[in-house]
Structure 1
Amino acid sequence: MDTRFNMFDNEIAVKFFKRFANAGMVIQQSPLPKSTQELVSLRASQINGCGWCIDMHTKEAAAAGETSVRLNLVAAWRESTVFTEAEQAALALAEEGTRLADAHQGVSDETWAQVRKHYDDDQIAALISLVALINAANRLAVIVHQKGVLTSPACSPRSTTDSPTEAGPAQDHPIPGRARACPSVGASPRYGSPWPTPSGWRTRRRRPRSASLVRPISCSCRAGSDCLSRSLWT
């Protein structure tokens, strides 16, 4: 299956992704546990059949220390014993919030009561925003047939201990907080943008004027001119 439309080569789409990434950073910096963010993003992506997002969030979660057992059981969380009650409440909200067309009442009162029980107002606001954002990301990718599997020999994500000299010239990455994968496979916006930030991207401020809004990500991708994401901040 070939990608039917290159969203990263369109000025309107690129402008949208930049603002989409800003929204994602709000969630990423919220008090909602990062592990819960990844579980919710993964479950919604599974329901929507977004290969790109499933691949990304599985790798993101694993890089953050999530176990393979829990990742393998996300789709069957109700039948497992490896998730906390709080995580189960978040996963239930993710499922019901994603499958709105399948239930006349949307999110059930029972699920909402569990969410209120385990999360404070700020966490709930972030959780609702995340469900909305990941569903939008899934649709962006699925509609254009964005290919999954974020791997490429041309890409070598920089670890947080690498220096610019060792990794090569730093390039601004358009999406704060996204996957540990090669942007050349399809630029990746993180935690909100169609594609949430890899642990391997180094954050730094661009200018005082925009620092409060966005913290661009630097990448050490060696894909050269083939890296589509490098054009998004130029």
Structure 2
Amino acid sequence: MDARLNLFDNPVSAAFVKYLAAAGKAAADSTLPASTQELVRLRASQINGCGFCIDMHTKEAAHAGESQVRLNLVAAWREATVFTEAERAALELAEQGTRVADAAGGVSEAAWANAARHYDEDQLAALLATIALINAFNRLNIMAQQPAGHYRVGQFT
């Protein structure tokens, strides 16, 4: 399967992707744990059905040392015993932030308060940026029908 549009070769979309990636650097350079960032990216990508991003973030997380067991259980994080309370709070925020149309007001006060118990203001800002950016990347890849399965670790760094 070929993509409808090569997001990386078209000058307009390539510039947009470049700017999104640059915006993501602020979150990547924050004190929000890198493993939490990858888990959040993976969960949002699962919800959105973005095969390209699921492939990418599963491989990136594994390369960074994330265990296969935890990666396998991200979709069922509520029932899994392998995530910390802080990671659970981040995953809940990611789910609600990805499914904003499913609940009046988007993210619930309870989900926000739980995340705020585990993360400081800078980490919360990084978490919000991570969630927003992965949702943008998911939508780009889904609309362009970017094929999944061929991502190589570090391909875009």
Alpha-carbon distance, 1:59 to partner: 0.7
**1:74-153 to 2 correspondence within 5 Å?**
74-151=74-151
Higher helix share: 2
- Residue 17 of structure 2 aligns to a residue in which SS? helix
CA RMSD of aligned residues (A): 1.3
> Contact 2:7–2:17 (CA<8 Å) still a contact in 1?
no
TM-score by length of 1: 0.65
Whole-Å separation in 2 of the counterparts to 1:18 and 1:69: 32
Whole-Å separation in 1 of the counterparts to 2:39 and 2:122: 18
Whole-Å separation in 1 of the counterparts to 2:15 and 2:43: 27
**1:84-233 to 2 correspondence within 5 Å?**
84-151=84-151, 180=153, 183=155, 188=156, 217=157
**1:49-60 to 2 correspondence within 5 Å?**
49-60=49-60
2:5 corresponds to: 5
Alpha-carbon distance, 1:105 to partner: 2.2
* 1:152-189 alpha-carbon deviations (Å, 9 max, x no partner): xxxxxxxxxxxxxxxxxxxxxxxxxxx616x5xxxx4x
4+ long deviations beyond 4 Å: none
Alpha-carbon distance, 1:140 to partner: 0.5
Whole-Å separation in 2 of the counterparts to 1:91 and 1:150: 26
Which structure is higher in RCO with an 8 Å CA cutoff and minimum separation 6? 2
- Residue 9 of structure 1 aligns to a residue in which SS? coil
- Residue 72 of structure 2 aligns to a residue in which SS? helix
Whole-Å separation in 2 of the counterparts to 1:9 and 1:67: 34
* 1:131-166 alpha-carbon deviations (Å, 9 max, x no partner): 000000000100010001135xxxxxxxxxxxxxxx
> Contact 2:40–2:131 (CA<8 Å) still a contact in 1?
yes
Where in structure 1 are there 5+ consecutive unaligned residues? 152-178, 189-216, 218-234
2:39 corresponds to: 39
The count of corresponding residues between Structure 1 and Structure 2 is: 157
Where in structure 2 are there 5+ consecutive unaligned residues? none
Whole-Å separation in 2 of the counterparts to 1:127 and 1:73: 20
Alpha-carbon distance, 1:85 to partner: 0.4
> Contact 2:115–2:124 (CA<8 Å) still a contact in 1?
yes
Structure whose CA Rg is larger: 1
* 1:50-80 alpha-carbon deviations (Å, 9 max, x no partner): 0010011001111111111111100000011
* 1:70-105 alpha-carbon deviations (Å, 9 max, x no partner): 111000000111100000000000000000111112
Identical amino acids, percent of aligned pairs: 61
Whole-Å separation in 1 of the counterparts to 2:92 and 2:86: 10
TM-score by length of 2: 0.95
Whole-Å separation in 2 of the counterparts to 1:3 and 1:10: 12
Whole-Å separation in 1 of the counterparts to 2:66 and 2:150: 18
Whole-Å separation in 2 of the counterparts to 1:82 and 1:9: 40
